[in-house]
Amino acid sequence: MFLHTLPNGLDVLVIEDSSVPLATIEITCKNGSYTEPPQFNGLSHLYEHMFFKANKDFDSQEKFLDRISELGMNFNGQTSEEKVAYYFTLPKFNLTEGLKFMNSAIRYPKFKEEEMRKENIVVDGEFQRNESNPFFALNDEMQHHMWGDLYSRKNVIGNHDVIRNATPAMMDSIKNKYYWPNNSLLTVGGDVKHEDVFAQVESIYGSWKPSKFDPFKKWPVPEFKPLTKPDYFVVKSPIANVPIIMFEWQGPDTRTDIPSTYAADVFSFILNQNSSKLNQSLVDAGLALQVGINYLTLKHVGPISLIVVPNPDKIEECLAEVKRQIALFDSEDYVTDEQVQIAKRQLEIRQVQEQEITSDFVQTLSFWWASASIDYFTTYTDNLNKVKRADLQNYVRKYIKGKPYCAGLLMNPQMAAQVLPERFFKAN
């Protein structure tokens, strides 16, 4: 892995892998829902779709796609809370042309009105497909309760009206705020040589002018307000076939508490194993069909989510046991030293596996570049191995046990009429 920064601020990362004669080119921008006030919610994702349209060198989507076929590319994009990324995988002998093609798309989009009208409908259709998943209703309501007035900053999919009514001028506004070399990472992975890539990138992208400002100083991401008390809510959806319970806490982030992010990973891994006390007390005991806990590493407040699919006949008993288990999370015998060692070893293996397919590894690295740093990834195993059982207890006490949280229960209206969840689904 080789990292170089151009004079214009563009970070260039090269991963050499000669196992197959392919190259992947990805460009990543620090943009995403965390940059979106309500009137722009969902437009980072719409911008991602507009990337694969007309630009100064290809004046229609048809010509853009024709060129993709000529170069033998697979292509896609991805939008999340803290990054938007675009990538091409192509035969290595087309690398130079692929770099030029990416340059045209990232620097010179046209945002043609007729193309945008079509894409407004396409992106909104993707939103509607997400809504057809019953879990969407619970998760969306959870985001409202967790983040309040800053909900849009965590809502990647966006707002129907904003997406449908977006204009080319709004796309230009996003470009002029965030699409600069000094806010971007260009990654090239595959059967390439880093010296050759650096030289080509300098030649093609060196004239890309940097911004005269730091977008995150000019338009700072607001700080999320800490929760102040437990917050319970029930979501009734006619498409919910099984009940789901979701607890969520505001966890650590990579700006203020990096050590706790490693503890969060280890703790989550242990609790997600069939042998964990959490699984034994809920699934093995017949109170739940499934249980899992997850932490998402982010620069701006990573959420901790506990999701339980309760036995429909034992929802109240299941909830009581979930609360009892949470209260035990920091007890001396809740996890063992052996479980900690196994978790660290398995997470280390997982990181190695992430590097096996270079086209996927490129995307992994861009996530860490945006939400932490490349150093966070390269030192991950060393820092993970420093985690002790006491660190897991401290993490639980700092972010979970006794801390304010949001709790949601999803069920269909017929079940709700029978169970009357408002009787028991509430703070003690």
User: Comparing 2-212 with 231-423, is the CATH topology the same?
Assistant: yes
CA distance 9 to 26: 16
pLDDT band at 339 (very low <50, low <70, confident <90, very high): very high
Q: What percent of the chain has pLDDT over 70?
A: 100
Residue 301 has phi, psi (to 5 degrees) of 55, 95
Tell me what the pLDDT averaged over the chain comes to. Answer: 96
**Beta strands at 22-29 and 84-91: parallel, antiparallel or unpaired:** antiparallel
Rg (C-alpha) for the chain, rounded Å, is: 23
H-run or E-run covering 426: none
8-state DSSP, 225: P
Q: Tokens in use for 390?
A: 């006491």
Give the dihedral sign, CA 277/283/287/291.
Answer: positive
Q: How far is CA 256 from CA 24, 96, 299, 365, in A?
A: 33, 40, 8, 21
Which residues fall within 8 angstroms of residue 358, CB to CB, at 6 or more apart?
Answer: 15, 17, 19, 22, 24, 189, 190
CB 400 within 8 A of CB 203: no
Query: Residue ranges per domain, the chain?
Result: 2-212, 231-423
DSSP three-state, residue 391: helix
* 36-87 confidence digits (pLDDT tens): 999 999 999 999 999 999 999 999 999 999 999 999 999 999 999 999 999 9
343 CB-near residues (< 8 Å, 6+ apart): 266, 269, 270
DSSP string, 242-255: S-EEEEEEE---TT
Q: What integer is the mean pLDDT of 117-142?
A: 91
pLDDT at residue number 427:
87
pLDDT band at 131 (very low <50, low <70, confident <90, very high): confident
The band of 130, judged by pLDDT with boundaries at 50, 70 and 90, is confident
Q: Are 50 and 171 in contact (CB under 8 A)?
A: yes
**256 is written with which tokens?**
């203020």
Q: How far apart are CA 338 and CA 121, in angstroms?
A: 52
Taking Cα atoms as reference points, which of 270, 356, 267, 301 lies closest to residue 148? 301
Pairwise CA distance, residues 98 & 102, whole Å: 6
Q: CA torsion, points 74, 68, 76, 366, in degrees to nearest 10? A: 90
CA-to-CA distance for 47 and 49, rounded, in angstroms? 5
Interval 144-175: pLDDT, tens: 999 999 999 999 999 999 999 999 999 999 99
Helix, strand, or coil (residue 89): strand
User: Can you identify the CATH homologous superfamily of domain 2-212?
Assistant: Metalloenzyme, LuxS/M16 peptidase-like (3.30.830.10)
Instruction: Summarize pLDDT for 300-335 with one digit per residue, the tens.
Output: 999 999 999 999 999 999 999 999 999 999 999 999
- CATH code assigned to 231-423: 3.30.830.10
352 vs 20, 361, 364, CA distance in Å? 18, 10, 12
Please state the rounded mean pLDDT for residues 219-225: 97
Q: pLDDT tens, 404-422?
A: 999 999 999 999 999 999 9
Q: What is the mean pLDDT of residues 247-252?
A: 98
Segment 356-380 mean pLDDT: 95
Tokens of 123: 């992106």
pLDDT tens for 209-220 read 999 999 999 999
Give the per-residue pLDDT at 428.
Answer: 81
> Does the pLDDT value for residue 111 go beyond 90?
yes
CB atoms within 10 A of CB 418: 10
Could you write out the DSSP letters of every residue in 111-152? --HHHHHHHHHHHHHHHHHHHTSHHHHHHHHHHHHHHGGGGG
Give the amino acid at 356.
Answer: E
pLDDT over 90 percentage in the chain = 95
**pTM (whole model) above 0.75:** yes
Backbone phi, psi, residue 75, to 5°: -145, 155
The alpha carbon of 217 is separated from its chain's Cα centroid by a whole number of angstroms, namely 23
